Amino acid sequence: MNLQAQPSSSGQGQYRILREADLRDYLAGLPPVAAQLGGVPAGWSISEVGDGNLNLVFIVKGTSGGIAVKQALPYVRLVGESWPLPLSRAHYEHLALVHHARLTPKLVPAILHHDNPLALTAMELLEPHIIMRKGLIGGIAYPRFVEDISTFMAQTLFFSSDLALSAAEKKEGIADFAGNHALCKITEDLIFTDPYRVAEQNRWTAPWLDTIAAAFREDLDLHVAISRLKLKFMASPEALIHGDLHTGSIMVTVTETKVIDPEFAFYGPMGFDIGAVIGNLIMAYLASAGHERSPGDRAAFEAWLLETIEGVWTEFSRKFLALWRSEGKGDAYPVSLFTGEAGAARLETERQAYMARLFQDTVGFAAAKTIRRILGLAHNLDFEAIADEKQRAICEARSLRLVRTMMLDTPSFTTIGVVTRAAREVRDWQPDFANP
């Protein structure tokens, strides 16, 4: 397995896991970064704050400002050294950040420095932003979110697709990210395979979900559905996707949204990103009952979540279609094949059909993203923060009931309104754990 980062033209350092003192010396040797921090290096405060599954994250503060430094570890942090992981993911994350910054500079952190051999990126410190998932657990609504995330997805997906690019540009893009296959393999295993079979690392809220987990392992209809989604993930290089666009990869205030952590980026199906956002909002909605202090005290927040789920799809779809109409200069759908009034009308019909297919993919992937967080290895704080395990299991069982239908009967979810209606209906369903 290749544990080395891609060769770098700058070549500032050999890989070593940075500790505080080492990082201080390293940053002191970078004049623009040192100037941004201000003061003397000995006075900088450095703390490791990473709570994700894979990397180290340091916050460094000086007299003038702060920065965030992310360093990839040569293994999966959540599991340990027994699960090696290539450092090259930092290279792909940097490439994706550059793509995002070019298209949506206000929606991503500014990159201050990147060192490939050290698998390290220094970025703007996002303050007072918090991880969106934590805000949602706290019942905070984010009025900018729909506008920002729909812009992020429409821009980054459309402009890396065949609708915008020449065939040559698109294939070069695919090649640039083709080496990120170890990160894809994590997704292929943890999302599309393990939750549906006996796998050592699976876990769920036992004993309440034991019967449901067993049923998911036996359900061949579900195995066909998840395998179709897996194939779509593996074999549909539609656009450069973020690849891990859950609410833990988004930092927010009530006035700003910043998308972070695109280390899983590769050319894949667009619905995987959109489904990640929608699936994670569904989980926030169905976990919300577990965070109530008194019955109904989060009703307004939950109504906002449902409106947000609807807004994410409708605004994404509107913006993506608008881009296609004005910037659809790629090699797919050649303009010369759709001339005149009849051609324009036919192309518009085709655009609507394309969006309908993309919506179906989105529904399926949203379901897959939810199931993996309840029955697989890496769980979501939305549910994990519910201390009463039976109450947590009730919220998780409701989620599984909804998304199992979304995965098995995807065509019946014709609009996003059908999804939110089904979510609202399952919100107060009481599972019978003896007869789930």
Residues 367-406 that bind ligand SR1 (CB under 6 A): 378
Span of 227-235, 254-262, 276-284, 295-303 interacting with Mg ion by CB under 5 A: 254-262
Would you count residue 261 as binding Mg ion (CB under 5 A)?
yes
* The pair of three-digit structure tokens given for residue 138, joined into one six-digit string: 């706290």
Q: Is 390 exposed, middle or buried (0-12, 13-18, 19+ CB in 10 A)?
A: exposed
From the CB of 74, what's the least distance to ligand SR1, in Å? 14
Q: Is 355 in the site for ligand SR1 (CB under 6 A)?
A: no
d(CA 384, CA 391): 11
Q: Which is nearer to ligand SR1, 262 or 328 (by Cβ)?
A: 262
Contact at 8 Å (CB) between 394 and 283? no
Q: Between 189 and 208, how does the x/- string for binding to ligand SR1 read (CB under 6 A)? A: -x------------------
Q: Which of residues 50-79 bind Mg ion (CB under 5 A)?
A: 52
Contact 97, 111 (CB under 8 A): yes
The reply to whether 244 sits near ligand SR1 by the rule CB under 6 A is yes
Question: Out of 35, 40, 49, 78, which residue is the one contacting ligand SR1 (CB under 6 A)?
Answer: 78
* Paired tokens of 244: 């891990």
| Total residues interacting with ligand SR1, rule: CB under 6 A | 9
- Three-state DSSP at 214 gives helix
Q: Is the dihedral of CA 271, 277, 279, 282 positive or negative?
A: negative
Side-chain-side CA neighbours of residue 262 (13 Å)? 28
According to CB under 6 A, which one of 68, 87, 186, 260 is a site residue for ligand SR1? 186
Determine the interface stretch with ligand SR1 among 163-171, 185-193, 232-240, 291-299 (rule: CB under 6 A). 185-193
Q: Near ligand SR1 by CB under 6 A, which window of 2-10, 18-26, 184-192, 393-401?
A: 184-192
Contact stretch for ligand SR1 (CB under 6 A) within 16-24, 94-102, 183-191, 345-353: 183-191
Tell me if 158 sits within 8 A of 323, measured CB to CB.
Answer: yes
Cis-peptide into 207, omega within 30 deg: yes
Assess contact for 262 and 107: CB atoms under 8 A: no
The answer to whether residue 53 forms part of the interface with ligand SR1 (CB under 6 A) is: yes
- Our finding on whether 226 is near ligand SR1 (CB under 6 A) is no
Nearer to Mg ion, 52 or 328 (CB): 52
Task: State both tokens at 378.
Answer: 């890496």
Determine the Cα–Cα distance for residues 219 and 216; give it in Å rounded to an integer.
5
The angle that helices 270-287 and 299-327 make with each other, rounded to 10 degrees, is 170
Comparing every residue's Cβ against ligand SR1, the nearest one is 53
Q: Is 273 in the site for ligand SR1 (CB under 6 A)?
A: no
Token reading at 125 = 């410190």
Q: Which is nearer to ligand SR1, 305 or 378 (CB)?
A: 378
Residues near ligand SR1 (CB under 6 A)? 53-54, 76, 78, 186-187, 190, 244, 378
Residues near Mg ion (CB under 5 A)? 52, 261
